[in-house]
Each structure stands twice: as C-alpha cells, then as structure tokens.
C-alpha cells in the first residue's frame, strides 16, 4: 500500500467544515491531514486515523487526525458521494477533538446513511426530508 498527500480532498474537507461550522465547530481543519492510498486490500472508501493522547504527550503535539481516502474506491464515486464519505469520516471526530475516534454507535447516536444525509443536505442547502414532504400543503 502506498500513501501520498491528497490536497484536493484537503480543500474539499476544509470547505465542508467551514460550511457546516455550526455542527462541526469543534473540528480544527488545520489539524486534519488528508492522504490518498493505493493498493489497499479493504472494501472501505475512506478511513480516519487518530493520534492517541499518549503519542500527543510523548511528541508534545496537539491532537491530529488523518483522513485516508482509498483511491480505488473513493475516486470512482460521484462528487456528491465523496462529500458524503468525507462527512461520515468527520462525524467520527468527538466534540472534544481529543485524538479519540467515535464508533458508529455511541450514546444513542449513530453514524449511518441517515445521519450523514442530514449534514449533506445542510451542506448543499437542500430541504430536509420532512420539509420536502410537507412542501405541497
């Protein structure tokens, strides 16, 4: 597996964090690095990597995250689905921005298609599904 910086993904991630600042105010986009990998043997489209507190303390650095996009899957996606994938990975960052990673199910909240779609609709100024349903009345 090979890694290289992904400045195009980094720019899109910064845009998403800035546009969804109300929901992602805890995220410091300067402390997130985006990388593109090739030849990975996983079905994932992207992964988030953290820098645990013990490493932060040992190295004397602030919390950082790496969002890795797996080229063979991510690059084939439509732009809209790539945005959804990036939102999904950002949702794994806890409100404390501590270097930890939230699981898919935690404290009654889930990181799934439905919760990602809520943020995606906000990102693109689309009406929520509820607003869409009642629009005809």
Residue 137 domain flag: no
Residue 10 domain flag: yes
Least confident of 9-23, 72-86, 113-127: 113-127
**Overall average pLDDT of the 36-59 stretch:** 94
What is the residue whose two structure tokens read 């607003």? Answer: 131
Residue 59 domain flag: yes
Residue 68 domain flag: yes
User: How many domains would you assign to the chain?
Assistant: 1
pTM, two decimals, is 0.90
Is-contact 16 69, C-beta < 8 A?
no
- CA 104 distance to own-chain centroid: 13
Residue 51 domain flag: yes
Q: Which residues, listed in sequence order, are joined to residue 37 by a DSSP beta bridge?
A: 3, 70
Structure tokens at 110: 């889930």
Give the model confidence (pLDDT) of 106-135 as tens digits. 777 899 999 999 999 999 988 876 655 555
Instruction: Tell me the C-alpha distance between 22 and 77, whole Å.
Output: 27
Is-contact 70 45, C-beta < 8 A?
yes
- Domain hosting 116: range is 2-132
27: domain CATH number? Answer: 3.30.2010
DSSP 27-38: --GGGEEEEEEE
Instruction: Tell me the C-alpha distance between 27 and 128, whole Å.
Output: 24
């Amino acid at each position: 597996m090979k890694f290289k910086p992904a400045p195009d993904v980094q720019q899109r991630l910064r845009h998403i964090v800035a546009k969804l600042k109300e929901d992602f105010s805890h995220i410091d986009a300067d402390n997130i690095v985006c990388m593109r990998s090739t030849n990975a043997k996983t079905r994932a489209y992207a992964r988030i990597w953290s820098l645990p507190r013990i490493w932060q303390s040992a190295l004397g650095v602030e919390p950082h995250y790496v969002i890795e996009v797996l080229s063979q899957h991510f690059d084939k996606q439509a732009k809209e689905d790539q945005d959804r994938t990036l939102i999904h990975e950002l949702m794994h960052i806890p409100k404390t921005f501590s270097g930890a990673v939230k699981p898919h199910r935690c404290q009654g909240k889930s990181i799934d298609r439905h919760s990602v779609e809520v943020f995606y609709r906000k990102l693109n100024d689309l009406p929520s599904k509820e607003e869409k349903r009642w629009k005809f009345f």
